[in-house]
Structures are given as structure tokens and as C-alpha cells.
Structure 1
Amino acid sequence: MSLNKSNFSTQVIHAGEQSTYADNTIFPAIVTSSSFIKRSLDDNPDYAYGRVGNPTRHAYESCIAQLEHGLGAVACASGLAATATVLELLPKDSHVIVMAGVYGGTFRLMEDYRSKTSGLTTTYVDLNDLEALAASRRDNTRLIWIETPTNPLLQLVDIPCVTEFARAHGILTCVDNTFCSPWNQRPIEHGVDLVMHSASKYIGGHSDLIGGVVVAADEQLFTRLRGISMAIGAVQGPFDCYLALRGLKTLDVRMERQCSNALQIARYLNQHPQVEAVYYPGLESHPQHELCKRQMRSGGAVVSLKLKANRKAIAPFIEKLSIFVLADSLGGVESMINHSYSMSHNSLSHEQKIGLGISENLIRLSIGLEHVDDLIADLNAGFVRLPTTNVE
């Protein structure tokens, strides 16, 4: 059976070109060499210098490219380095249309840095509003940046609708697929040109690496990305590539458990009297549930909620938790809790946060591999510390 037609659980183990010079190893070796020997002046080996190429990095890149149904991938030093690599594809003074509610780091990179260094301009719209999308297009629009689901309110974007519009106007599309991983969503199947991940999250899966990756849908884009990666040198080191590839081996079983846990927790929270609102597209009551079923395998492993409490009351709720850890990241085997207002989106102004729906009573949960009963019991312990009515 062709690997391309096999089940995802098989692909995550065997996808890509994972052989190395020690080709009888069951797992690709970590090759740390910064330089590689030429046997003669006419020799043209596969690897010459570590910034340009590395066997461990290639094994990982080829694996993630196949899992995303792309033509090639470049592994970067972080998720934001991957985002910056995509922006290097654009000419000076380009305009980018961005999904409203985009990750705070992406917003900061575009607004605080690229706007000053390369003349980048941006328009933030709900990409599901096709009239607003069309109205925001300019003659110099070169990219539509799609984040789906968004962080932290988990709003989805109808990917095929956006890619159809983009193709009609010769505009590149890139999806930040961090919250889904290729297990849950493969944007290239819906016509997207580029897929970006913060590999620190579900791809690595164990909260022990920093990395990003960009997957290209066609050979031309991949060649351009390779050139940019070589030129700016923001590549991922062999140790982190090894960890990311090792993490991919268990992506299927991890996501099965984490997404199952998340759905059960979302249903529990949706009925809780001290919860004002739950944001999880896997819930039948979510306004984009049908879209979720069309382009995602599940509702994901992140659940966001608004508590019937203010900032002062939320602090003891979080402090009472013993399993959920207060952390800035997500996607690890351990469950995490994040106060988006003061953590993931801290770089935004108060007005910007409120405009995006990121209020001080909003909490984001990254659901891990623990037993779901223990996670619910942990949340219950936190709810005991909350007032029964909203604290003014």
C-alpha cells in the first residue's frame, strides 16, 4: 500500500525521508556537524554547511511536508521565525489582509517591526465576511494571513472561501495551523499556498523545544522558501529537529486523547453555573460547528471560557488548581491554563483586547493527556474559590 494512501497513524511514523548516512538506524541520528567534507573539488555532496542543510533537519522537514500534503518544508528557529520567513516572500510596501484576533506575536511582528522595516501595511478583518474581505483588498495586497482557529476565542475561517477569493486575485494564502496540527486540519487540501506551525506546540508535544516550520504547496514556493531560509539563517538546530520529529511519532495518539478530553471538558463547562460562555467549535451549540465538521477532524484540544468573575476573583481560582499549570504555551502533554488578557495578548492595548473579545474574565485551557475525570475534579476545586455571583 502506498504511504500516501495509508492512515494518518501510519504516516506519522514513516512519512518523509528519514534515512541517514547510518541507514540501518531505526530513528534518524542527530547530526551535529556544522560542516561536511567534500571528497574532491568536483564533489557535490548532499550536505555542505549546517545552515544550508542538515540530515536531521531534512528528515523532520520531509516528514511534516508529507503530513501536510505539501511539496516541501523549512524548519525555523521558532514559530515567529517561521512567520517572518513567510513575510520575506513579499516585496517591499506590501499589504497583508489578516484574520481579526490573530496571535499577539504575529500582530507585534507585523505592526511594530515589519511596518517600519519593509513598509508592510495590514488590514484586520473577519475573513468569513466576504464583503469585508473584498473591500479590504488593495492593488498591493500580496498575502492573506489566516489563523483558524484563532487564539484564544477559537473562531474558525472558512478556508476554501478565502482561497477561492485569493486565487482569483493572485494573492498568496498562509494558514497558521498551530492549534490544529496536520492531524486535525490540512489546509493545503483546501487550496492554501503555505502552512505555518509553531512546532513548540502540538508537533513537539512535550513542552521541551522551540521551533517553527513552513510547508509550501508547490515546488516554486518551496524553492523560494529554501533560498530565504539559507539567506537569513533562522534555521532550527538538529537537537530541536530531532525532538520535533520524535514528537510527530506520537501525534496521532496524543491528539486523539487530548481532543477527546477537550470535548468532554467543554460539555462540562457549558453546563456550569459559574461559566458565562464556552468557546469550543466541537460543541454542537457553537455557531461554527458545521464548518468545524467540514474542515477539521475534531474541535481541537483547546477550550476557552469566560468565568462569571472579575480579575480579582480569577486569581484564587487559578491558584487552587493542582493539575492545570499556569503557562504561556499550549499543546503539551500536560494541561495548561492561560489568562489571555495578561499573558498571550499582553502586548495589545486594553482597547484592542476588548475589541477582540479578550476580556479579563477570559481563560484558555490547553487540554493534556491526564485522565479527564481528574481534570474536571481539578477545575471543580477552582470553582469552589469563585463567588456564586459576579464580583464587582
Structure 2
Amino acid sequence: MNSVTQVINEAHLSANSTLGKCTEIEVYGEPLNPSINYSSAYAFKTIEELGAYHENKFDSVRYTRDSSLIVRQLEHYFGLMHSDHSALMFNSGMGAISACFSALVTSKSRIVTFGSFYRKSLSIFLSYQKNFGIEYINVLGLEELENLNSKDTIVLIESPSNPFLELVDIKAVRSALPDATIILDTTFQGLLNSKSGYQGIDIVLGSCTKYIGGHNDLLAGYVVCQNKSLYSKVWDERSMRGGIIDNQSAYLLLRSLRTYDLRVNKTLDNMSHVLKFLADSSVVESIYYPGQYENAAQSGLFESEHYHGGGVVTFRVSKNVTLNQNLETLCSTKMAPSFGAVDSLVEIPMYMSHWGKSLDEVKKLGLDERTVRFSVGNEPIQYILNDLVKLLKIK
């Protein structure tokens, strides 16, 4: 009785071809979608061929912890969307930001951040501070940057920020810190939403799990480096720790890129109705959206830097709104983390991201039990507004 291995080997040998190319098929057309190759390793016919890979490892494939054909295709597209700089794909947004700081931080480093931003990013910096004595400084204003300029300073800018959608003046930061390495987290911007083309930024990164993936069915992140030295360091870090996106998720992400504009345009159209609804509501005390409402003082910065404000809005409701009970009555909107997808999602950050903390603790972050973050999806707008009516119901 033949074994499976024997059958495969005999077919391979008789075809005198590589595995997977044994059958000659006449193909007259081209597939509309890319193929997914699940191979974890790539074979080389000669030592010379292997040597050629090592001489050109950034643009070739050998082992999928380093790269693969479909990941290279993704990185090519992300590079083109960022002034043709070198891009790297990761298995999550946090994988991307972790790799950048792991690649760059030394015993002399100083890490600088601005105001409120994603709590998981903060946990990285606090860990560096606690475990290795790395200096970490969170500033609230540009005036606090005085005397912080150094080649050992690494800056993280999250703009717009989570959850209050505030902007950071990147040009002013670069002017104050000309020698620093500046990393920009664009997760809340989405793609192609910078009028300046990220001038003055050394590394642009973001989570693809949000707007870019857009269907709540994958985790991914990206990094774009402005020079080859940074790219090489981050590439080596990803290779060492295995943070690359898997091929199945890469395929789904390629699919999502093809519908990105349609999804974002629908979200922005729905957002215009949501903002009007919230502004007209007597039980909404404050609204946070880039360049508008509580962030209106940044309208000039917003207009000069961005094309749109995205699909997330944060707002605070009055005390007579029964938020906790009202969340149970929603229909199409779901209480869930993440944002930027076809699904409308709602959360109370105090409970979703800061569970177990006291009210006094979260108030230091500008939050309370009446602060809501709402991600506008692609549902018919009346579905979304109907859920907002239910969410804002009073006693």
C-alpha cells in the first residue's frame, strides 16, 4: 500500500517540477484576486541562488517570519501610499509600535508623549521606565519640550488622540526637537488623510485592524520608515521576534484595501448626520471631534493637516441619561472595542478600557461613567440614529 508521502513524491518526480506545479493547465485569463501561498519556507536550487537572496533579503523571500510574496505585495502598496518609502507589515498595531521602540530604545533614550493616548502604548513606556530605568515624559503643551531636544529622544505622537480626538502640531514638535526621532501613530486618521505628507516624521505607523481592515475580522499593523537605516532596524526586530502578519490576514487586508474608499466615504456621510444629531440633543453636554465642538480651537490645525475627521466621536451625556441600561436596548450598534469598521460600535471607556479603576482614577484621564466613544459604521443612517435615540434615553 502506497503512503501519502510516496504518492506525492512520485507525482513530483514524474512531473519534474516543484511541488504545486505538477499539473500543466492552460490558463487564458488572470485571477482577479492574489493567490495565498501558505508555505512557511522557500526552496533554493543552488548555493548561488541562496546567496543572491542574502544579498537582497529586504526584497526577496526565504522564510515567512521574514517575509512572503503576499506580504511583499501589501508592503509595496503601503509604501506607495506614503511617498514611496519602505513599509513593513505586522500582526497587529501594537506589534508594530512595540517593534519600533524595541528597535530604537537604548539605555540613553528618553521617550516623550503628548497628553491622552492609547493606554496599551502607554503600558509599553511605563514598562521601559519600571524595568530598565528609561526616562519617560508625558507633556501637555509644546512649551514643555524645551531642553528635551536630543538624538536620544524618541517621540510618539498619536494624532488624533484616543479618545478625545485632539491633534498635535507636528511641525511645531519637529521645530522644537530637530534631533529627535519622531514616530506618528495615524490609527485614528486612516489612510491618505495627511495634507502635509507626514513631513518631519521619521516613522509613520498604525493599526490596520481599524479603518483599513474595516470588517472586524483581522489584526494587522504597518510601519513606514523614512530612511533605510530605520527600516533595517525595524525589519531585524520583526524578524527576530516574529511579528509579521500571517498570509491569511494579509490576503484579507488586500481585499479590504479595495473597498477602503467606499467604506470610509459612507462612514463620513453617516458621521455628518450623527454629529448633527448629537449637537441638537439636549442631553449631550460635550462633543469631541477633530477640529470641531470641544476641539474647535484646533480647527485651523485640522484644516491645514487633514482631509476629514474620521468615523469616531466621543461625547459626554448628562446625569439623567441611563447609559448602562440603555446599552442593552440597542439593535444594530454593538458594545465592543475597536473602531473604524462597517459595524457601528459603542463603548464607555471607563468600563471597556479601564475596568476596575475608581472614578477618581479615570477622572485624571478626563473620563467618567458618562463619557461615550462611538464609532460610526456603514449601516443605513436611520438604524444608527434610532440606536442613538435609545442610547440617550433619560430616566
Fold shared by both chains (TM-score > 0.5): yes
Rounded Cα–Cα distance in structure 1 between residues aligned with 2:46 and 2:152 = 48
Amino acid at match of 1:243: L
Q: Which has the larger radius of gyration?
A: 2
CA offsets, 1:270-315, max 9 Å, x none? 12101111111253672212211111111211011001027x9210
Pairing 1:161–2:172 present:
yes
CA offsets, 1:117-162, max 9 Å, x none? 4433211112xx2211225x26574211001111111111112211
Query: Higher mean Cα deviation, 361-370 or 284-293?
Result: 284-293
Deviation at 1:374, TM superposition (A): 2.2
Pairing 1:374–2:383 present:
yes
Segments of 5+ residues of structure 1 without an aligned counterpart are 1-20, 388-392
Which of the numbers 156, 159, 162 marks the counterpart of 1:145? 156
Query: Residue in 1 aligned with 2:56?
Result: none
Query: Residue in 1 aligned with 2:63?
Result: 49
Query: Higher mean Cα deviation, 143-152 or 40-49?
Result: 40-49
Query: Residue in 2 aligned with 1:317?
Result: 326
Q: Secondary structure at the match of 2:47?
A: coil
Pairing 1:81–2:87 present:
no
Kept after mapping to 1: 8 A contact 2:291/2:300: no
Kept after mapping to 2: 8 A contact 1:70/1:215: no
Sort the Cα spacing of 1:227 and 1:239 in 2 relative to 1 into closer, same or farther, 3 A. Answer: same
Amino acid at match of 1:144: V
Report % sequence identity: 26
Pairing 1:108–2:161 present:
no
Rounded Cα–Cα distance in structure 1 between residues aligned with 2:136 and 2:292 = 32
Q: Secondary structure at the match of 1:33?
A: coil
Query: Residue in 2 aligned with 1:305?
Result: 315
Rounded Cα–Cα distance in structure 1 between residues aligned with 2:357 and 2:150 = 29
Report 1:265-344 matches (<5 A): 265-281=274-290, 283=292, 286-309=296-319, 313-344=322-353
Kept after mapping to 2: 8 A contact 1:175/1:187: no
**TM-score, normalising length: structure 2:** 0.85
Deviation at 1:101, TM superposition (A): 0.5
Kept after mapping to 2: 8 A contact 1:104/1:347: no
Pairing 1:209–2:223 present:
no
Sort the Cα spacing of 1:179 and 1:191 in 2 relative to 1 into closer, same or farther, 3 A. Answer: same
**TM-score, normalising length: structure 1:** 0.85
Deviation at 1:227, TM superposition (A): 1.8
Kept after mapping to 2: 8 A contact 1:199/1:210: yes
Kept after mapping to 2: 8 A contact 1:340/1:364: yes
Q: Secondary structure at the match of 1:110?
A: helix
Which of the numbers 87, 91, 98 marks the counterpart of 2:113? 98
Query: Higher mean Cα deviation, 25-34 or 240-249?
Result: 25-34
| Total equivalences in the alignment | 359
Aligned-pair Cα RMSD in Å: 2.3
Query: Residue in 2 aligned with 1:134?
Result: 146
Query: Residue in 1 aligned with 2:45?
Result: 39
Kept after mapping to 1: 8 A contact 2:190/2:310: no
Amino acid at match of 2:370: N
Rounded Cα–Cα distance in structure 2 between residues aligned with 1:351 and 1:193 = 37
CA offsets, 1:61-111, max 9 Å, x none? 121122122511111121111111110222124211111111011111221
CA offsets, 1:340-372, max 9 Å, x none? 111134487754531221121100001101122
Q: Secondary structure at the match of 1:184?
A: coil
Deviation at 1:24, TM superposition (A): 4.4
Kept after mapping to 1: 8 A contact 2:111/2:125: no
Amino acid at match of 2:181: L
Deviation at 1:183, TM superposition (A): 3.1
Q: Which has the higher contact order (CA 8 A, sep 6+)?
A: 1
Which of the numbers 64, 68, 71 marks the counterpart of 2:85? 71
Segments of 5+ residues of structure 2 without an aligned counterpart are 1-20, 22-26, 54-59
Q: Secondary structure at the match of 2:322?
A: helix
Rounded Cα–Cα distance in structure 1 between residues aligned with 2:203 and 2:361 = 28
CA offsets, 1:245-267, max 9 Å, x none? 21111111211111221132112
